[in-house]
Structure 1
Amino acid sequence: MKKSLLALAALGTFAGVAHAQSSVTLYGIIDEGFNINTNAGGKHLYNLSSGELQGSRFGLRGTEDLGGGLKALFVLENGFDVNTGKLGQGGLMFGRQAYVGLSGQFGTVTLGRQYDSVVDYVGPLEAGDQWGGYIAAHPGDIDNFNNAYRTNNTVKFTSANYNGLTFGGTYSFGGIAGNFTENQIWSLGVGYNNGPLALGGGYLNARTPAASGGLFNNGGTIATNTPATALAAANYAVASPVYVGFSSANTYQVFGLGGAYTFGAATVGLTYSNIRFGNLGKTFASPYAGQSATFQNAEINFKYQLTPALLVGAAYDYTRGTEINGASRAQYHQGAVGVDYFLSKRTDVYLTGVYQHALGETLNAAGDTVDATAAINNLTGSSNQNQFTARVGIRHKF
């Protein structure tokens, strides 16, 4: 009898182990196309480029059911250039995402390299994250809506979905010997998506963003055709002339809001962001050391599903810079249009065009006042106030 009971207990143990379910999925995106840039530092540029509509990538994601509603999970996601095969995000093996965590009935806690709350809750409402790609993002992706920068050493909480309402936050451990707040990053966000209405709000705060290991300098997204001289400027990873002169700030913060409403086949969206570079001149000499600069950005976007396979979109974006010591405010007017045709659920072809016009004055990498020039996101900046780029591409998901 005792032997029978022991056998049943052993069988029960093995049955419990067998009941625990786990899965690992290999996934990815290959996005490749042909670009035309009318003014890349004063010259026309025609080239192939990788990952415009979405960054080319492959990754592994997995879950394990631990019982009682608790799951373990992980994501390892790599970015790469289709044309050369080289790693993206500054050569990092898993530069897009790399994290592990636990998920339960109240939400998910993860640890590793991750996206901040502005990216999660507001970014999906801008045109660049929908049909426009990175060239349709706000100038220089100054508000990080298009995920130019990721956060290392991050603890992240994402709530469960409460009838369309979600919220969360991140905290990225910075710190060097004698300075706990160096490179520290934190963010908060909230979103609502129910029926035709989608809303999102987020806040991001990064200390010493241009320092080694800071938000701007930890494997961000940099255009493959950006001149080496720009990358060697005082603040590596900030190649955009829109705000390279302000990235010496001790604190970078973004407050963003967005909303979209769908009626029938059409969707109209709005986003707003306030970007502040506080206490300029910490990491390099600047005549404006100690001052702060504020940029404001507003976008209206529209998309229409002509057929289940054909989507068209249009957007207008306006960025207004700060006035420092009498210099006129830099302004950037940007328009974008796009067409996306799905050959299947996993493969589509697309055409995107973006035009930008700049006005006023801004700061260069040395902190000098210069005329603002057009600078479409992630492309080599224009030599004058105007820039136009067009792309035709193909994207395949697996």
Structure 2
Amino acid sequence: MHSKSTLALAIGAACAVLAGAAGAQTRVELYGSVDAGVSYVNNARGNGQTLVDSGNRSPDRFGIRGSEDLGGGYQALFGIESGFSLDTGAQKNPNKLFQRRTFVGLSGPIGTVSLGHMPDFMYDYLRFQSNGIMGSAYFFHPGNLDNQANQFQIDNAVRYETPVMRGFKFGAMVGAGEQPESSVKGRHYSLGAQYASGPLKANLAYTKSRDRAFNLGATLGLPSVLGQALSSDPSAVDAKYANFNADRVTSFGATGSYTIGRFTPHAMVSSVKLETRAGAETQRNVELGTDYALTPADTLGVSVATSKFGEVRWDQFNVINMYRFSKRTTLYGAVAFQKAKNGVAVIQGLAPSSTDKQVVSRIGLHHLF
């Protein structure tokens, strides 16, 4: 009996050691973000509107990611991520469960290769120096053409990123169009570069796309662009009126920030050129701002931005105060004011104003898990 007990204990101890080793080599975690609050906009198609909306400071999402240590400095990686609306429980895209990021990859001493459905570098590399670094979705540029709100991802993508070398990191990705009638239809390319050293951070990004659709009627309040009739109704069923269809889209952006004591000034420029057989139109955005640490837990952010598309210009002033109860939970209040020239005001994420001015205020709670 004694020998059998000793054997059982030995086997149990060995299993525990092996389980511990496996746990040290493989990591899988569930993560996500939930954000909800109350917003008031003074003019949404002519009326004041109170909203209980979500995903404003950071998109509502959940995901599973993991890695396995393969030895020799190599790791296998994977991730799946889904977006949803906390206020209604609905999926962001009812046709795709994991619509934000899905990939499998391999990392090693010479970099990381990933395959799947992933955002371009306009989002991944520029977003942390945009709109107060971690501000409000209302601060994004009209129409989100430069993809700071991650509403565009590349399907069938192959992505490569270098290791960090003397503060620099570079990335490149291509999305195969997979259209049998054309080798270029639906194809996308994206390039990115990052630099971080002490208080200085700087980023560049470029994306070239074919055959992308934009809901310019609802997001910019425009009746037509390059001869394509548009509807300002976001629920319009007929896609030819709800969307603007671009043959080619060229996006470029640059951001930078520098921390000086309690201040973190930041700047961003971006341009998005939409081309069809009828011609081309470009949106250009310039943004300046700073974050100021009132206390270690309390940050005040202010920014101003100018966006121009065709004859229409939008000038916007933003203020946000973020109080961190912990590393995961933040209470925040935000206000944005926009004035348009040669068009109607349309703060990102809201219905267009009936005039050239629009104001929105918000108080919200954000939690990471």
Task: Please say whether Structure 1 and Structure 2 have the same fold, judged by a TM-score greater than 0.5.
Answer: yes
Q: Which residue of 1 aligns with 2:331?
A: 349
Q: 1:136, CA displacement in angstroms? A: 0.5
Query: Is 1:307 matched up with 2:295?
Result: yes
Q: Distance in 1 between matches of 2:138 and 2:168?
A: 30
User: Is contact 1:131-1:338 (8 Å) kept?
Assistant: no
Query: Is 1:394 matched up with 2:369?
Result: no
User: Is contact 1:29-1:54 (8 Å) kept?
Assistant: yes
User: Is contact 2:269-2:285 (8 Å) kept?
Assistant: yes
Q: 1:177, CA displacement in angstroms? A: 2.1
Q: Which residue of 1 aligns with 2:146?
A: 143
Q: Distance in 2 between matches of 1:332 and 1:90?
A: 32
* Alignment length (residue pairs): 338
Query: Is 1:186 matched up with 2:189?
Result: yes
Query: Is 1:376 matched up with 2:329?
Result: no
Q: 1:145, CA displacement in angstroms? A: 2.5
Q: Distance in 2 between matches of 1:22 and 1:229?
A: 45
User: Is contact 1:116-1:169 (8 Å) kept?
Assistant: no
Q: 1:296, CA displacement in angstroms? A: 1.3
Q: Distance in 1 between matches of 2:241 and 2:76?
A: 38
Q: Which residue of 2 aligns with 1:365?
A: none
Partner of residue 60 from structure 1, selected from 58, 64, 74:
64
- Cα–Cα, structure 1 residues 256 and 292, in superposed 2: closer, same or farther, change >3 Å? same
Q: Secondary structure at the match of 1:163?
A: coil
Q: Distance in 2 between matches of 1:148 and 1:376?
A: 16
Q: Secondary structure at the match of 1:393?
A: strand
Give the partner amino acid of 1:146.
Answer: A
Partner of residue 248 from structure 2, selected from 226, 251, 269:
251
Give the partner amino acid of 2:361.
Answer: A
CA RMSD of aligned residues (A): 2.2
Runs of 5+ unmatched residues, structure 2:
1-13, 220-231
Q: Deviations over 1:114-151 (max 9, x none)?
A: 111111222221116x2322111111112112322111
Query: Is 1:134 matched up with 2:137?
Result: yes
Percent sequence identity is: 34
Give the partner amino acid of 1:293.
Answer: E
Q: Distance in 1 between matches of 2:237 and 2:129?
A: 30
Q: Distance in 1 between matches of 2:62 and 2:276?
A: 39
User: Is contact 1:31-1:393 (8 Å) kept?
Assistant: yes
Q: 1:178, CA displacement in angstroms? A: 1.6
User: Is contact 1:158-1:169 (8 Å) kept?
Assistant: yes
Shifted more, 43-52 versus 147-156: the winner is 147-156
Q: Distance in 1 between matches of 2:368 and 2:159?
A: 27
Q: Distance in 2 between matches of 1:133 and 1:90?
A: 24
Choose between structure 1 and 2: higher strand proportion. Answer: 2
User: Is contact 1:56-1:81 (8 Å) kept?
Assistant: yes
Partner of residue 107 from structure 1, selected from 103, 108, 111:
111
Shifted more, 382-391 versus 18-27: the winner is 18-27
TM-score, scaled to structure 2: 0.86
Q: Distance in 2 between matches of 1:140 and 1:203?
A: 18
Q: 1:227, CA displacement in angstroms? A: 4.4
Q: 1:96, CA displacement in angstroms? A: 1.3
TM-score, scaled to structure 1: 0.80
Q: Which residue of 1 aligns with 2:306?
A: 318
User: Is contact 1:197-1:261 (8 Å) kept?
Assistant: yes
Runs of 5+ unmatched residues, structure 1:
1-10, 211-215, 239-246, 281-288, 323-328, 361-371
